[in-house]
Amino acid sequence: MSVFVFIAIIVIVYFVIKIGAAAFELTGLNSEQANFQSVSAFTGTGFTTREAELVTAHKDRRKVASVLMILGNAGFVTLIATLVTTINTSGPVTPIIPALERFVPRSSMQYANLSIVLILLFLIYKIFHSSRFLNFLMSKIQEQMIDKKLLQRARFEELLLNAKGYGISQIELTKKNPLSGKTLSESKLRSNDILVLSVERDQENIINPVATTRLKPHDTLICFGKLENIRAIAYEDDR
Q: Where are the domains of the chain?
A: 2-147, 156-238
Beta bridge partner(s), residue 116: none
| Alpha-carbon distances of 151 from 24, 51, 60, rounded to whole Å | 10, 20, 8
Phi, psi values for residue 63, rounded to 5°: -65, -45
pLDDT in the model for residue 174: 84
Provide DSSP, 36-71.
Answer: HHHHHHHHT----SHHHHHHHT-HHHHHHHHHHHHH
Give the number of other CB atoms < 10 A from CB of residue 193: 13
Task: Look up the CATH architecture of domain 156-238.
Answer: 2-Layer Sandwich (3.30)
**Digitized pLDDT (tens) for each residue of the chain, 239 residues in all:** 566 777 777 788 888 888 888 888 878 776 777 888 888 888 877 655 666 766 776 778 888 888 888 888 776 666 666 655 555 555 555 656 666 677 777 667 777 777 877 888 788 888 877 778 877 888 888 788 878 777 766 666 666 666 577 888 888 888 888 899 999 999 989 888 899 999 998 878 899 999 999 999 889 899 898 878 887 887 776 55
Report DSSP state, residue 182.
-
Beta carbons within 8 Å of 168's beta carbon, 6+ residues apart: 159, 160, 197, 222, 223, 224
Residue 43: how many other CB atoms lie within 10 Å: 16
Residue 36 phi, psi dihedral angles, 5° rounding: -65, -45
Task: Name the residue among 20, 10, 54 with its Cα closest to residue 231.
Answer: 54
Q: What is the pLDDT of residue 108?
A: 73
Instruction: Give Cα separations from 36 to 46, 49, 112 (angstroms).
Output: 10, 12, 34
Q: How far is CA 162 from CA 24, 49, 51, 165, 167, in A?
A: 20, 11, 10, 6, 5
